[in-house]
Structures are given as C-alpha cells and as structure tokens.
Structure 1
Amino acid sequence: MSYRIKSGDTLSAIAKSHHTTVSALMKANPQIKNANKIYAGKSLNLPGARDSFEPGKAGGGKAGGAQAGGKPAGGTGGAGGATAPTGPASRGPKGSPIDIARSHLDKNAASLKLEKNGVGADMEDWVPNNVNCANFVSAVLEQAGQIKDSQHHNAVVGLQKNLDNDPNFKRVSINQAKPGDVVSLKTPGGHHVVLFAGMKNGKPEFIGSNNINKDGSQRISYSQMNYPILSVHQYRG
C-alpha cells in the first residue's frame, strides 16, 4: 500500500494517521534520509501497523495471508506432528523449497525481512507485516533456484500469473502435490499462498507466512486451511 505525500504533510502526522511509526516508515522507505525532509508528490510505502522484531506468540489471529481473512480448519503446529510427505519433495537447482521454508519456522515475517542473507534478503522490506505470504513464498522459490528475482511478486495473483507463464511449472491437483509445491487459495477477503507440506490426519497441511500473531502480523507456521484451492503449481524444471 502506498501514500502520496501532500503539501503540509509531516512524516510523524502520516505515521499517526496510518497507525504506524516514523521509524517503521523510514525502514519501508530507505530513500528518506532525513525524517524532517519529505516532498509533496512523492509516494511512500506504508508498512504494517506494527513492526515486531521479537519471537511471536501464537494468538487468536487469522490464518489467512495477503489480503486474507477467516479461520484455519486445523490450526497451526510446530515442526513435529503426524504430517506425512506425499512423494519426493519438489526441488530446484539450489535446494528444496519445503526444507528452506521449514528452516524459518516460527520466525516473524518482520524479523525475517531484516536478515541479510537467504530468504530474508530476497523478501522486500516495505511489504506490510500482515501481508507477506507471497513475499515469503517468492523468496523461498528464489532461494531454491526455481524462479528468478524478476519473477518475485508480493501479490498472490501476481505470483500465480508468473508461475503460469513459466514453462518449468505445471498446474496439478492437490492429490498430485509434492511437498514444496505452491498452493494458491481463495479466502473470504481475497487470496493466500502457501507451500504444500504433506498430509496430516487425511487433510493437506501447508507452511507459509500466516496471520497468527496477536497483533495481526504474520509468522512462518504450519496450517490446515479449509479455503478453496485456486491452483497448485509444481516445479518440473
């Protein structure tokens, strides 16, 4: 989300009106070197209402992702549990998306974006902390070597379109999914994207950036969601 600066605006007033902080605005807009100098007509990237850099705690938040809402069908879990892989995991030239995603389990999206290497370095910092699902999945696919930086997209439908246009990806049914396949979902408020993690108690389980923190921000977690599946993209490169 962005905001066009008007004559007379101050960074502190913009931060207050959008329920964020001057510090968060400057992190989302590295082109601003001085908080007291902003220019009318320029656009600002608006971060989430809160930037949380400490480990998150599971709360009664939503399990949907970017532009998403609603309740998960089966909640979230840790790295253990009875998740059963469905065939060999999807792999790219640089590794497996499912292994890369699992290595970041329980990290807040806000914290992950600050990391200088790996997935965090490939995530775009300005994306609000409550809408990072496509940002996270794109970065995981980049780290696995399955997509290029130019294919990274922070919107679910944008990433879906990029994968549709990539000859190395093919749409399959959820019954054909392998761990690491990209699953796009239709939610009551829009869309969400996650990675298939296997089957648990007869239902598909996913891993992704989900809105489970008490403040509505996202954390990397497992989830079982009863949303309609729009597409499952499997890497065939």
Structure 2
Amino acid sequence: MSYRIKSGDTLSAIAKSHHTSVSALMKANPQIKNANKIYAGKSLNLPGARDSFEPGKAGGGKAGGAQAGGKPAGGGKPAGGTGGAGGATAPTGPASRGPKGSPFDIARSHLDKNAGSLKLEKSGVGADMEDWVPNNVNCANFVSACLEQAGQIKDSQHHNAVLGLQKNLDNDPNFKRVSINQAKPGDVVSLKTPGGHHVVMFAGMKNGKPQYIGSNNINKDGSQRISYSQMNYPIMSVHQYRG
C-alpha cells in the first residue's frame, strides 16, 4: 500500500493513523534520511501493519496468535494445537501446482522458521521476500514469495499487503476465485480479521475444518513464524491457480 503525503503531515502522525511505527516507515522508505523532513506530494510505502491477525477461537481451542507457553524461535510446535513440522495435517486432494512446483510444498519446507530469519536467506523463498517488512506482518510477503517460487506469479505481482495481493490475483487470468469446499492445498486464502486482514494458504482439512499454512503471529514477542493454523475468521476470497 502507499500513501501520498499531504501538507501538514508528520511521519509520526502518518504512522499512528496507519497503525505502524516511525521506524517501520523509515525502513519501508529508505529515501527518507530524516524523520522530521518529509515533503507534500511524495508517496510513502506503507508496511501493512494491519495485515496480521489477533488471537481468536477456532474449534474450541486457541488460534495461532494466542499461544500459551509456545517457544519464541526455532524448533518446537506452534501453540494452540496447530501442528508444527510433520504435524497431523492431511491434505485433501492434489496440491495446486505451478510451472516450478507446489506453493504448498514450498511453504511446508519452511515450517517452524521465523519469518524474520527466513526473509534474510539469500536463495529460495527468503530471497523473494522483502526484508524491510516488519517481523509481525509478513503474511502476504511469505505467500507472495511461495507463489513466485512455484512460478504462479511474477516478481511484479508480489505484494506485502493482503488486499494488494488479493487484487493482483483477481487481475491474473491464471487465478480463479473458488469456494473453500473446492480448495486445494496451496490455494491462497484471504481472511478478514478484527484488526485488518490475514493471508495464508489452504493446507487441507483437520477435524472437519480448514487448516492453513502461512506466516502467523505465534511467537511470544508477536513476531511471525511459519506454521499451521485453524482460524474462524471470515473468508474474503480463495484464489486457485488454473494456469
């Protein structure tokens, strides 16, 4: 997302109104050398601070963000019964595939990695993630990178905001909106959350409910880790690759 600076704006006021921080805006806009000097008419990249999800109930338990006693990094399973690497998720039907592979398989290969570490890797998904994105809002950054690695989208279609990625997929003739009942592992699922939006990929069914894989806010410090999750948030769209 972007914002055009208006006369009288300050960076701190812009950060507050868009639920982010001055430091995050500075990282997203390296052309700004002095936080006290911004110019009307110029555009700012917004880091998409609302593209995350808050704790919610799912299937009688806690969703990914509401962990209790979960580990902040590395190994171990995400709290809330969401399953870690090798978790009890059974994909239903063949996974969605692009010219270079399945985005679901690509995502699954990074289970339990912290998004903040993954996006600094020099190859694969990490190389396609933009490292300026704050560590608590990498959901669209991660999904975009998985789709790129699978050859389903181009680099120019990568977006770090949920609604931006949704729009790019709507405009791509290789993607079609389907219902969750038609979803294949690797399909892109955009969700409406109490605090904004979240995007993940369908990972099959678990206990009769959709299971997702993505960059989720499950670390104690609020940062994201690649994990499975089940969430009862309203589904805005399910995009399936048909290329």
Q: What TM-score do the two structures reach when normalised by structure 1? A: 0.74
Contact kept? 2:215, 2:225, Cα under 8 Å: yes
Which of 144, 154, 159 is 1:138 aligned to?
Answer: 144
Q: Aligned partners of 1:50 and 1:155: how far apart in 2?
A: 9
- SS in structure 2 at match of 1:185: strand
In structure 1, the residue matched to 2:110 is: 104
Q: Aligned partners of 1:53 and 1:228: how far apart in 2?
A: 12
Q: Aligned partners of 1:217 and 1:60: how far apart in 2?
A: 24
The structure-2 alpha-carbon separation of the partners of 1:4 and 1:166, relative to structure 1 and needing over 3 Å to count, comes to: closer
The structure-2 alpha-carbon separation of the partners of 1:149 and 1:55, relative to structure 1 and needing over 3 Å to count, comes to: farther
Moved more, 34-43 or 139-148: 34-43
Contact kept? 1:113, 1:125, Cα under 8 Å: yes
2:39 counterpart of 1:33? no
- SS in structure 2 at match of 1:8: coil
The structure-2 alpha-carbon separation of the partners of 1:236 and 1:24, relative to structure 1 and needing over 3 Å to count, comes to: closer
Structure 2 residue runs of 5 or longer lacking an equivalent are: 72-77
The structure-2 alpha-carbon separation of the partners of 1:119 and 1:66, relative to structure 1 and needing over 3 Å to count, comes to: farther
- SS in structure 2 at match of 1:231: strand
Deviations 1:195-218 (A, max 9, x none): 001111111110000000111111
Contact kept? 1:63, 1:210, Cα under 8 Å: no
Q: Give every structure 1 segment of 4 or more consecutive aligned residues whose post-TM-superposition deviation is greater than 3 Å.
A: 1-75
The structure-2 alpha-carbon separation of the partners of 1:145 and 1:33, relative to structure 1 and needing over 3 Å to count, comes to: same
Q: What TM-score do the two structures reach when normalised by structure 2? A: 0.72
Tell me the matched-pair count: 237
- SS in structure 2 at match of 1:65: coil
Contact kept? 2:121, 2:127, Cα under 8 Å: yes
The structure-2 alpha-carbon separation of the partners of 1:28 and 1:163, relative to structure 1 and needing over 3 Å to count, comes to: closer
Q: Aligned partners of 2:38 and 2:127: how far apart in 1?
A: 27
**RMSD of aligned alpha carbons:** 6.1
In structure 2, the residue matched to 1:149 is: 155
2:215 counterpart of 1:212? no
1:183 offset after TM fit, Å? 0.4
The structure-2 alpha-carbon separation of the partners of 1:141 and 1:73, relative to structure 1 and needing over 3 Å to count, comes to: same
Q: Aligned partners of 2:122 and 2:79: how far apart in 1?
A: 34
1:138 offset after TM fit, Å? 0.5
Moved more, 217-226 or 49-58: 49-58
Deviations 1:81-107 (A, max 9, x none): 332211100000011000100111111
